Structure 1
Amino acid sequence: MTHDLQRKHELYEKYVKNMTLEDKIGQLLQLAAPFFEGADDGEITGPMEELGIGPETARLAGSALGLSGAEKVIAVQQAHLAQDKHGIPLLFMADIVHGFKTIYPIPLAIGCSWNPELAKRSAQAAAREAAVSGVHVTFAPMVDLVRDPRWGRVMESTGEDPYLNSVFARAFVDGFQGGDLKNDMERVASCVKHFAAYGLAEGGRDYNTVDLSERQLREYYLPSYKAAIDAGCEMVMTSFNTVDGIPASGSRKLMRGILREEWGFDGVLISDWAAIREMIAHGAAEDDRDAAFKAIQSGVDIEMMTPCYVHHLPGLVREGLVDEALIDEAVLRILCLKDKLGLFENPYRGADPAKEEAIICCEEHMEVSRRLAEESCVLLKNNGVLPLGKKQKVALIGPFGDSGDILGFWSWQGSKETAVKLAAAMQATSESPELVTAAQGCGIHNISEEQLADAVRIAEDADVLVLALGEESEMSGEAGSRSDIRLPEAQLKLIGRLKELGKPMAAVLFNGRPLDLHGVYDIADAVLEAWFPGSQGGAALANLLYGNVNPSGKLSMSFPYTTGQIPVYYNHFNTGRPKPAEPTDNRYISQYLDIPNEPLLPFGFGLSYTEFAYDGLKLMADTMSPDSPLEIRATVTNKGAVAGTETVQLYVRDVSGEVVRPVKELKDFIRIELQAGESREISFTLSESQLRYHHSDLSIGSDPGEFRIYVGPDSRNTLEAAFHLLAQV
C-alpha cells in the first residue's frame, strides 16, 4: 500500500468510521464568516441568503469562506475545536486572486507580461501573506479562456490563448502551493476555477449559458484546467454556467467523467457560491432536494453557501437514493486536504500575528508588485511623445491621476489609500515636483464646466498632456459585464476638448478589460495600457512614462475595433470565402461592410521605446517526422538607441486538417533582452506532439501534410516559412 493510500485508510478509520451521517455531511458545508463564533461580518461576495441554518448545523460546517486575520482565525478555530467532538479543524478559504494585501496587477495584465516566472513569484508572495493571516486555500487561479471583453471577469483570466493560459496556470499553482504544503507554512492550497468553459458565457453576460461542441471544449477550454491539475492543484471549483444544457455543478460528464476518471483528479471539488441551488433556476432541478441529489452524484464535495446538502442528503441516504459511500468519499477527500495542510497536527497552521506584521506589504512583496506592473503594462501607440522628458512641464489630467482605485475588483484586502498614486509618483520621478501639475478634468461618468476649465488651464501651460482615464474597478470583475466597452462619454468629451489645444497628448488607461478605443486611440499621440496595476501601480507607471523602464508588455487578449465585432480573437478559423489582404470589389466574402474583420490591436501586440527587427527565418529541415523535431531559427535586432525586452512568438498553421484548424496557433515564445544595436539568433524546437489536436472523433493526433511557421513580435506581423509533416511509418 502506498503512503497516500495508507494515510487515507488511517483517516477513514480514525474519523469517517466514527462520524454520524450528519457529522459527515456537515464537512461538506461551507459557510461565510458571519456564521462562525469569534468572527465579525467579514468580507464576502454574492447574495446573502436566508439559509435556514441554525447554530447546531453551523457548528458542523467543515470550512469557512472569506475569513482572515491571524488573531481572528485562531479565535474561530479555537471556538470550533472546543465543540467539535471529532477534533476536526476548519479549513479557511478566501479569494486571493492577485494578491492579499500587497496587490499585484490583475491576472489579465499579468498575462501581458509573458513572464510566468514573475507571475509565480507574485503568487508565492500572495500565499505568504494569506498564510500568515490564517488562510489555507485560495480560490485561484481562474484559468477560463476568454474571447469576449464584455464579460467583466476577463480581468481574472490571462487571456484568449489556451497555450499561454496553460503556462500561467502552472506558474500560479506552483507559486501558491510550492512542493510541500504540510511543512511549508507560508504556502496555501490552490483551487482552480471555474470548471468549465465559464469564459464563453453568451453575450459576455455573467452567469449566462454556455453552449459549445465537445471538440471545441476539449481543444480550447479544457487545456488550462488540465495544466493546473497536472501542476498539482488541490481543489477545483465548479462554474455557474451550463455546459451542453447541464449546469456544471450537476454535470456527471464534466465532474466524474472528465475531471475524475479521465484526468485522475482526486482532490476536492467545490461549488461556486450557491451554484448547487441555482440548478433550480437553470431549470435542471425541481427543488433543493433534487439539486443536492444531482450535485453529490456528480461528485461535488463541498457546497458553498447553500443548504441543499445538509437539509436533504441525510434523507436521500436513508431512503436509499444516495449511496452513503458517496458521502464517505467526499468527506475523505476533504480530510485528506486538511491532512496535507498539516491541520490535524497544527490547526492554527501559518496564522501568526507577529509574522503578519513583518510579512504583509513588506518591501520584497512591493518590489515584485512594482516590477510585475512594469512588465504588464502595454504600450499600444506612440508617436514619439513617450518617454517624457524629466524637464518637461506635464499636465496630468483625468479621474485616475490621483486615484487609489487602481487595484481591481478582486482586491478586497488591499488598500486604495496606500496604493502609490500616479500624480505623486510622476512628481517624484520628474526633475522637480513643480513640473507636474494635476487636475481631475472629469469624473468617471460625469464632467462639469468647472472641471473642464481647470483641465484646460493647466494644459495650456504644459509642454505635454498625460490623461489618466479608464473604468472604475466596479465596472469589471464579477457581475461587471458591459454592452458598451468604450470609455464613458464624460472622458471622451475631456479628450476631445483637450485635443483642441494642439498639445502632445499621451493617454494612460486603467481598466479591467480590452476596450473599444474609439475616441482615444485615434486622438491621443500615445496610449499606455495600465490595466489595474496594483499597489505599486503609480510608481511603475511613472518609471514607464519617463523611460526609466522600457515597456515590454504584449497583449494576451485582442482589442476589438468595435463592440459589434466581438468575439474577435487571433486563433479563429478561416471561411470558405475569406477576405483577401488587398482591397476588393467583391461583396460576396466574409466581411463587415462598415468595419475591418481584424481587431484594432492583435493578440501578442505591444510596442517599445526601441525598435526590434526580425529577419533570417529559416527552418533547419523542410520536413518533420514524429521522431525528429524541427529546429526554427530567426534573428532579432534592436535597431533603436536603448535596451529593450522583446517577446519573440512562434505560431503554426495546419494548412489542411481532418477538421478545420485555426489560421494561427501560439506554440512557444521566448523573452530576450537586447542592448541597442544588438542582434541575436533565437531558436525554437517544434515537435510533432505540438501539432496534435482533437479530431472529429475526439481522438488526438496530427495530420501529415503542409504546415506554416510564423515568427514575429505579435500574431499579425510575422515572418513565414513552411514544412511538411511526414506520416508515421
Structure 2
Amino acid sequence: MEKTTKNGIHRIRQEGGKTIAWAEESGVKVLEKDGYYFKDLAKTGELLPYENWRLSDEERAADLAGRLSIEEIAGLMLYSPHQAVPPMPGGPFQGTFDGKTYLESGKEPYAISDQQKEFLEDEHIRHILLTNVESPEISAKWSNELQKRAETLPYGIPINLSSDPRNGAKDSGAEFKSGGSEISKWPEGVGFAACFDPEVAGQFAKDASREYRALGITTALGPQIDLCTEPRWMRFVDTLGEEVEMSKKLTKAYCDGMQTTEGEADGWGKDSVNTMVKHWPGGGTGEAGRDAHYAFGQFAVYPTGNFEEHLKPFTEAAFHLDGPTDCASAVMPYYTVSYGVDKKNGKNVGNSYSEYLIKDLLRGKYEFKGIVCTDWGITQDPEKTIEGFGSRCYGVQDMTEAERCLLAITNGVDQFGGNSESGPIVEAYKIGCEKYGEKAMRERMELSAKRLLINIFHCGLFEDPYLDPEESAKIVGCEEFCRHGYEAQQKSIVLLKNSAKRAPEGQKGVLPLKKGLKVYIPERKIGPSKAFFRIDLPAKTEDPLPDGLPSKYGTRVSSPEEADVALVFVESPACNPYSTEDLANGGNGYLPITLQYRPYTAKKAREVSIAGGDFRENFTNRSYFGKTNTAYNEADLDNILECRRAMGDKPVIVCATVNNPMVMHEFEAEADAIVAEFGVSRAAVLDVVFGGYNPTGRLPIQMPKDMDAVEEQSEDRALDMETYIDSEGHNYDYGYGMNYEGVLPAWKK
C-alpha cells in the first residue's frame, strides 16, 4: 500500500485492490474494512454497497440508483450544453464568473463558471459535454475542480465528461466537432475507411482513449457509424463510409480500442472511454441529401426498402464487439423521421419518439441494454420557421415538453442531450405516475439511473476521478500518438490520377514532383454562404497554405508564368439546400444540393418528393425539380481551369479536400494529377505530392459520373451510383486508388 498527497488530492494505492483518491476540501473520509480502504462518499460512516469496489459495477449502480430521489435521477438523465474551457466572451458557449465575463473576472482558466455550479448543485447534472479547451493541463485542472465539487455533494457522484470527435486534422468548425488543443491529429471518419485497414481505426481509438482520459473525458460521442449511402449528406465525411462490411469492421475496431483497458478481465479500467455510437437507426438516408439538424431536412427515406442494412453497423458490430467489453456503452438516435418505417403504428416522428424504433427494435428485438441518449435539443418547443436552428421535436410538436420527455422515457430513452433543466423530466415522472402508477414509474426511472451510473463505475471514477495535470500534458499530443496520427493521415490519402503526359524522365506519372521547383498556389475564393447555425457568412478569400510552402519542397511564386508547376487546392462543392428567397417568391424553398461547381439545374430530380408534411408548411411536396443551385466555391473550378490555361505545357496538380463525392468531369481532364484527402493536414498532402509517401489509400466512396447519376441513385442503397471514368480510362469506383507506379490491385471484399 502507498499513500500520497499532491495538489490537495489524497491517493491510496492498494495491492490487490483499487486505487482510491479524494480531495482534501471535499470532506470525504476513508473507511477501512478487511484490510482495504474505501471512500465514504455518502458520509455515513459505514460502507454502503455502492461504495464497495469489491462488488460488480451492476450491483453498485443498482444500490445507488435505489437511494436517489427523482430529482437526482432526473439530473443524471440530463446532458449539459457545450462547455468551453475557458468560456470566452463572444464565443458560442459563454459563461460567467460571479456575474462577470471570464476576461473581466480575473479567474483562472480552469475555474468553474456560475452556470456549471448551478447545473451541478441545483439540477444534479453529472454528464457534461466538453468542447474547446485552452490546453491539456487546463482541461485536467478544470476536470479536477468539477470532480472536487461533485465529491462534496450528496452521494459524491463523479462527473462523466464527454466529447464529440476532437482529433480531426482539419477543423470544420461545425457543432459536432470539438477543439483538440495540442491533441494528436487523424483523418476524419471516412478517412479511416479510405485506409482499408481496421487496425488504423483501432490504433486511433487506443491512442485517443488515453488522450481523452488525460483530459478528463470518459465518454466519446462517437463513432458515427451511419451508412452514408446518400452522397449529398453534409455529414458524409464523418461517417465510416457506405460499404457495410468495412463499416462493421471499423466500428468494432473503434469501439474495442476506446473501451478496452489492457489487462482488465472485463476490459474496463483506467484507460477506458465509453463509446456512444450514432445515429440509430442510421442517419445517412436524408431525402436528397438534406440534414435533420434543420426541419427542412427532417426526413430519412428508404426508396428501395433497404432499412435493415442500415442497422447492421449497430446490430452486427457495435452491439457484438470482439473485445471483453462486449458492447458499445451507449447509442444516440438521430433527429430524423425515418419515413414510412413504422408499419406497426404508422407514425412518422423523430427517432427518439418512435416506440417502434426504440422500444420494439433497439430495446426489444436487438436487446440493447446500454444507455440511449437523444441527440442534442429535441424536447423544447419548435422554431417558428422551418429554417430555424432550434428544437427538433419532429412529429410531436403538439405535446408539452414534459409529455415529450415521458414518451421518450417510456420508449426506452435514458438521457436527453443538451438539456440542463430537470423540471420537464420531473414533470414527466408525475404525469407517468398518474398514467402508469408510481411504482412502475419509480422502477423505470431507477432503470435509467442504473444504466447511467454503470458507465461511470466502468471507468473507475467513483474510486479515482482525479488527474495529474503534469502527466496529462505529457500524454495528450505525445510524440508517439502524433506519429500514429500522421501515419494514418498519409494512409488515408487517395491518388486518383497521375498522368504520364508531363512525367519526368524515369517516372510513370507526374508525381512525385521533384523538390526545388517553383510552385504557384492560387488563393481560394468562397462566395457568400450559410454557416452551420444558418448564419449568413460574407464572401471570403483564403490562402490554402497560410504558413507558406516549406522550403524543403520548393519556392512559392506569385504567378503561373514564373512557376514550374501549379498546385491547386480545392474543396468539394458546397451549397445552400434551402432558400427563404425562393419561398418568398412563391416556391417551396427547396433547392438541389449540387456536387458540381457550375450552376446545376435539377432536370432528373423527383417531381414529387417521397416525404413531406410539416406544420409550418401548407404543402407536402418538397421537390426541387427544375430549380438551379450553384456551389459557394464555384471559383475552385475557375482556379483549376485558369491554371491549366496559364501553365501551358507545365503540370497542374489538384489537391481536393473531399467532404462529399464530387462531379469530376468538370476538371479531371485538365489536371495532370489529382490527390483526394479526407480531412488531413496540408503537410500529409505535400508528402504525397513531393514523394514523401507513396500513396496507399483507396476511394471509400463512389465518384458520380454526373449529377444525373446522383439524382438517379437511391438514398438508402450503397454503391448504386454510375461512376466517373476518367480521361485515362480509370473508374472512380469504391476501392479505386493509385500509387506512383500505377493503379492499385483491384479491391475485393
The verdict on a shared fold, with TM-score over 0.5 as the criterion, is yes
Alignment of 1:509-520 (within 5 A): 509-520=656-667
TM-aligned CA distance change 1:379 to 1:293, over 3 Å: same
Shift of 1:281: 4.1
Letter in 1 for 2:593: S
Farther off after superposition, 119-128 or 200-209: 119-128
Shift of 1:138: 0.6
Please give the root-mean-square deviation of Cα atoms over the aligned residues, in Å: 4.0
Given the alignment of the two structures, is residue 185 of structure 1 paired with residue 259 of structure 2, yes or no? Answer: no
Alignment of 1:559-574 (within 5 A): 559-566=703-710
Q: Does the 8 Å contact 2:701/2:734 carry over to 1?
A: yes
TM-aligned CA distance change 1:96 to 1:648, over 3 Å: same
Given the alignment of the two structures, is residue 12 of structure 1 paired with residue 62 of structure 2, yes or no? Answer: yes
Shift of 1:508: 0.7
Question: In structure 2, what is the equivalent of residue 649 of structure 1?
Answer: 747
TM-aligned CA distance change 1:256 to 1:214, over 3 Å: farther
Question: In structure 2, what is the equivalent of residue 491 of structure 1?
Answer: 636
Alignment of 1:229-308 (within 5 A): 229-231=319-321, 232-243=327-338, 244=341, 245-277=348-380, 278=391, 280-283=393-396, 286-306=399-419, 307=421
- Alignment partner of 1:468: what SS? strand
User: What is the distance in 2 between the residues matched to 1:148 and 1:572?
Assistant: 7
Shift of 1:65: 1.2
Of 262, 284, 288, the residue aligned with 1:199 is 284
Shift of 1:292: 0.9
Q: Deviations over 1:442-492 (max 9, x none)?
A: xxxxxxxxxxxx4xx3x212222221222699999xxxx982233422222
User: What is the distance in 2 between the residues matched to 1:58 and 1:313?
Assistant: 18
Letter in 2 for 1:388: P
Structure 1 gap segments, 5+ residues each = 410-419, 439-453, 579-589, 613-645, 651-667, 669-729
Of 581, 586, 604, the residue aligned with 2:735 is 604
Shift of 1:519: 3.1
Shift of 1:176: 1.4
TM-score for both structures, normalised by structure 2 = 0.66
User: What is the distance in 1 between the residues matched to 2:59 and 2:722?
Assistant: 62
Letter in 2 for 1:377: I
Question: In structure 2, what is the equivalent of residue 216 of structure 1?
Answer: 306
User: What is the distance in 1 between the residues matched to 2:462 and 2:70?
Assistant: 21
Of 101, 111, 129, the residue aligned with 1:65 is 129
Question: In structure 1, what is the equivalent of residue 238 of structure 2?
Answer: 156
Alignment of 1:286-365 (within 5 A): 286-306=399-419, 307=421, 309-321=424-436, 323-348=441-466, 351-365=467-481
User: What is the distance in 2 between the residues matched to 1:353 and 1:195?
Assistant: 36
Q: Percent sequence identity over matched residues? A: 21
Structure 2 gap segments, 5+ residues each = 1-52, 96-114, 134-138, 169-179, 293-297, 322-326, 342-347, 381-390, 504-509, 533-542, 578-590, 598-632
User: What is the distance in 2 between the residues matched to 1:571 and 1:4?
Assistant: 50
Alignment of 1:491-640 (within 5 A): 491-501=636-646, 502=648, 503-533=650-680, 537-566=681-710, 601-611=732-742
Shift of 1:192: 0.5
TM-aligned CA distance change 1:16 to 1:257, over 3 Å: same
Shift of 1:378: 0.8
Count of equivalent residues? 547
- Alignment partner of 2:550: what SS? helix
Of 70, 93, 104, the residue aligned with 2:162 is 93
TM-aligned CA distance change 1:370 to 1:6, over 3 Å: closer
TM-score for both structures, normalised by structure 1 = 0.67
Shift of 1:154: 0.3
User: What is the distance in 2 between the residues matched to 1:55 and 1:531?
Assistant: 38
User: What is the distance in 2 between the residues matched to 1:55 and 1:550?
Assistant: 52
Q: Does the 8 Å contact 2:191/2:678 carry over to 1?
A: yes
TM-aligned CA distance change 1:540 to 1:216, over 3 Å: same
TM-aligned CA distance change 1:222 to 1:275, over 3 Å: farther
Given the alignment of the two structures, is residue 78 of structure 1 paired with residue 148 of structure 2, yes or no? Answer: yes
Letter in 2 for 1:397: I
User: What is the distance in 2 between the residues matched to 1:215 and 1:260?
Assistant: 22
TM-aligned CA distance change 1:171 to 1:149, over 3 Å: same
Q: Deviations over 1:80-104 (max 9, x none)?
A: 222x212111211111254542221
User: What is the distance in 2 between the residues matched to 1:463 and 1:94?
Assistant: 45
Shift of 1:16: 2.0
Segments ≥4 residues shifted beyond 6 Å: 41-48, 472-476, 568-574
- Alignment partner of 1:282: what SS? coil
- Alignment partner of 1:30: what SS? coil
TM-aligned CA distance change 1:562 to 1:238, over 3 Å: same
Question: In structure 1, what is the equivalent of residue 171 of structure 2?
Answer: none
Given the alignment of the two structures, is residue 109 of structure 1 paired with residue 185 of structure 2, yes or no? Answer: no
